């Protein structure tokens, strides 16, 4: 785990490494004449690329950067990101959102049980009226809870639930009046 932002060089190295792994998987399957497996691997590449560009539509740079680099910074977590972004988030939400995500993962990461599979699902939704990001960790951590200060941000913490095997919360905002 790295507690600092990644440098551009580190990001490029991770991107190229991941892409080479994906190409090797496609090549291996083609060499073994497993065309369906190769097609499935290529579909995964396309889907990951679509998710990347969809995340960028959020318009809040710190949160976008965090979402793009989290899986490299926290390699013990399988991080799955699903998004449906049809509108941008307010710039004023950027830092509090990134901080909530970072604080959550840092807290979980410190208490991870290395013998248990760890998965974090992040669902991001944004349109012209609403914004929501849900955080759903399933695994095992000795960290019991965390608190956030979203005072004055227009963001609301909904359905927080923290226990040893699962952390769940949703951050919601209504963009009425824009």
**Sheet of strand 156-162, all strands in order from the earlier edge strand to the far edge:** 78-85, 119-126, 130-138, 166-174, 156-162
Q: Does residue 28 lie within any of the structural domains?
A: yes
Q: Is the pTM of this model over 0.85?
A: no
Q: Does residue 95 lie within any of the structural domains?
A: yes
Count CB-CB contacts under 10 A for residue 46.
9
For position 64, what pLDDT does the model report?
95
Give pLDDT tens digits for 72-98.
899 999 999 999 999 999 999 999 999
Question: What is the number of domains present in the chain?
Answer: 1
Q: Which domain holds residue 119?
A: 8-174
Q: Does residue 3 lie within any of the structural domains?
A: no
CB 85 within 8 A of CB 124: yes
Alpha-carbon 98 to chain mean position:
11
Mean pLDDT of 95-108: 94
Tell me the pLDDT band of 10, cut-offs 50, 70 and 90: confident
For position 16, what pLDDT does the model report?
76
Q: Does residue 2 lie within any of the structural domains?
A: no
Q: Does residue 126 lie within any of the structural domains?
A: yes
CATH of the domain at 50: 3.30.565.30
Alpha-carbon gap, residue 168 to 164, rounded angstroms: 11
Q: Does residue 1 lie within any of the structural domains?
A: no
Which residues, in sequence order, are CB contacts of 129 under 8 Å at separation 6+?
Answer: 87, 174, 175, 176
């Amino acid at each position: 785990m790295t507690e600092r932002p990644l440098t551009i060089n580190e990001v490029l190295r991770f991107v190229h490494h991941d892409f080479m792994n994906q190409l090797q998987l496609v090549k291996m399957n083609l060499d073994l004449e497993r065309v369906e497996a190769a097609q499935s691997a290529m579909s995964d590449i396309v889907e990951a690329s679509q998710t990347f560009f969809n995340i960028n539509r959020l318009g809040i740079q710190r949160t976008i950067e965090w979402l793009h680099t989290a899986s490299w910074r926290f390699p013990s977590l399988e991080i799955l990101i699903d998004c449906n972004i049809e509108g941008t988030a307010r710039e004023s939400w950027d830092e509090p959102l990134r901080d909530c995500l970072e604080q959550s993962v840092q807290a979980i990461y410190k208490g991870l049980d290395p013998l248990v599979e760890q998965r974090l699902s992040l669902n991001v939704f944004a349109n012209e009226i609403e914004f929501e990001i849900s955080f759903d960790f399933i695994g095992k951590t000795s960290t019991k809870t965390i608190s956030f200060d979203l005072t004055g941000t227009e963001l609301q913490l909904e359905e927080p639930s923290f226990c040893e095997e699962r952390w769940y919360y949703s951050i919601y905002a209504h963009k009425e009046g824009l």
